[in-house]
Chain A
């Protein structure tokens, strides 16, 4: 049957998609807000991992300043990974995920909203907390802007890629370790360009190239990852 899409119809369709996006985002943020431990645990983990390096390797300011970009980035990456498992877990356990899959709404939008909510609860606070770690690890002040900008551009990509792993393992009882195995190799480009951006900022080299690459990866992830996440969710739930 052929449908004639009038301007108003397409407008209302746009609105309903937008409404769906906001509704899912609001719901997930509300859920996260009500369960605050999930919000704070990755942040505490982030701080603790960064504390381990001066204790385990060397407390020398010169040495720490040199490794600070990498340490902060690796800690942020691990903290994101740690929070990933819970992304679809509770929805899967109480059956919400199945209802979402059955609903006529585009899964792409739902998934994108959920990942965005997850990022606002993990990547964004991590980015805001990063300068503190930078100071603790004697990162030169010139590097701070590079650190925050690279985390701001990089952590959403981490959330998007991690969500693929979370979606693939949501049906399994022990998904935690498996997620890291699946996702860590895919995180490597983000890590490389993220730390390179910070190092370039410290040494005063131009940053635009690294930010462009991080932004390109984010754009690619934004377009492609929800497709993979949706496919993975359908497979995990139906299997």
Chain B
């Protein structure tokens, strides 16, 4: 048994305690914030000034540097929400519930950002703001799923029940997302295929996808920062009756 316990580092178990995870996130925050700031600034300047213009779309393609990262993030955020919800359901970890709750609004914002930039990009490229295309529609449905989770959270007063219900909904959604994706894909498609795939090299020129990669890293770090800040707030609100929070608030 004792050997088994060493398998995971100590801080992993400490994450289950709201107090410890508050501290750990506090220590991680500045690092992520710094990386996010640097990569977002460098990526934006690189993308807008130095990356070559597209031979067909001209400069209008540059919106890809916001569109793709936000779309990728909207999807990974849902995964994180569902996994955190599952951890909360199975091991009854309060912190996991709080992470899942904090994910929903961020993911919804990212989905809206992806849809909005897509619409702005679609106007010069396809000639219309909105096309009933598979990928647009599945992103819209993802947004609806996020909104459902947020609505469920706000409808149920008891925090613990709300977290568990939202986790069940997120997990049902997780099973459904691939089905929705493929059903919508077969239904109607116009959008170009994914820019980044794990198995293949990107079809774009390196000078174009390198800044994109920097932007994606920047978005992920920014997401981590805002998620940790939200979760820390959530911890303080839910643990407001515990002595360490009172002490912490008393100090300031």
B-contacting residues of A (Cβ < 8 Å)? Answer: 161, 164, 168-169, 171-172, 174, 178, 181-182, 184-186, 188-189, 192-193, 196, 213, 217, 220, 224, 228, 231-232, 235-236, 238-239
Name the contact of A181 in the complex, choosing from B151, B156, B160, B183 (C-beta under 8 A).
B151
Name the contact of A184 in the complex, choosing from B144, B160, B179 (C-beta under 8 A).
B144
A188, B165: Cβ atoms closer than 8 Å: no
A182, B148: Cβ atoms closer than 8 Å: yes
A171, B169: Cβ atoms closer than 8 Å: no
B165, A236: Cβ atoms closer than 8 Å: yes
Q: Which residues of A contact B172 (CB under 8 A)?
A: 161, 164, 186, 228
B176, A189: Cβ atoms closer than 8 Å: yes
B156, A239: Cβ atoms closer than 8 Å: yes
B175, A224: Cβ atoms closer than 8 Å: yes
New A-B contacts (14) at CB < 8 Å, excluding given A186-B180, A232-B165, A239-B165: A171-B161, A178-B151, A181-B151, A185-B173, A189-B180, A192-B184, A193-B183, A224-B175, A228-B171, A228-B172, A232-B168, A235-B168, A236-B161, A239-B158
Known: A228-B172, A235-B165. A196 touches B187 (CB 8 A): yes
Q: Which residues of B contact A239 (CB under 8 A)?
A: 156, 158, 160-161, 164-165
Q: Which residues of A contact B145 (CB under 8 A)?
A: 185
Closest Cβ–Cβ distance, residue A113 to chain B (whole Å) = 21
**Distance in angstroms between the alpha carbons of A186 and B147 in the assembled complex:** 13
Residue of A nearest to B143 (CB): A185
B160, A217: Cβ atoms closer than 8 Å: no
Report 12 cross-chain contacts, Cβ distance below 8 Å, ordered by A residue: A172-B155, A172-B156, A178-B151, A185-B141, A185-B148, A186-B180, A188-B141, A192-B184, A193-B183, A213-B183, A224-B175, A235-B161
Whether a CB of chain A sits under 8 angstroms from the CB of B245 is no
- Those 9 A-B pairs whose CB atoms lie nearest each other, nearest first: A239-B161, A189-B183, A185-B144, A235-B164, A182-B148, A192-B183, A189-B179, A185-B141, A168-B165
Whether a CB of chain A sits under 8 angstroms from the CB of B152 is yes
Closest Cβ–Cβ distance, residue A55 to chain B (whole Å) = 24
B168, A228: Cβ atoms closer than 8 Å: yes
**Distance in angstroms between the alpha carbons of A186 and B173 in the assembled complex:** 7
Closest Cβ–Cβ distance, residue B115 to chain A (whole Å) = 15
Q: Which residues of B contact A178 (CB under 8 A)?
A: 151-152, 155
Closest Cβ–Cβ distance, residue B155 to chain A (whole Å) = 5
Residue of A nearest to B142 (CB): A185
Known: A185-B145, A224-B175. A164 touches B168 (CB 8 A): yes
Closest Cβ–Cβ distance, residue A73 to chain B (whole Å) = 13
Q: Which residues of B contact A224 (CB under 8 A)?
A: 175
**Distance in angstroms between the alpha carbons of A213 and B89 in the assembled complex:** 31
Closest Cβ–Cβ distance, residue B161 to chain A (whole Å) = 3
**Distance in angstroms between the alpha carbons of A217 and B175 in the assembled complex:** 11
Interface residues of B in 197-217 (CB under 8 A from A): none
B161, A217: Cβ atoms closer than 8 Å: no
B171, A181: Cβ atoms closer than 8 Å: no
B180, A188: Cβ atoms closer than 8 Å: yes
Q: Which residues of A contact B165 (CB under 8 A)?
A: 168, 232, 235-236, 239
A231, B183: Cβ atoms closer than 8 Å: no
**Distance in angstroms between the alpha carbons of A168 and B166 in the assembled complex:** 9
Q: Which residues of A contact B176 (CB under 8 A)?
A: 185-186, 189
Residue of B nearest to A232 (CB): B168
Q: Which residues of A contact B151 (CB under 8 A)?
A: 178, 181-182
> B161, B165, B172 — which one has the most chain A CB atoms within 10 A of its CB?
B172
Q: Which residues of A contact B183 (CB under 8 A)?
A: 188-189, 192-193, 213
Residue of B nearest to A180 (CB): B148
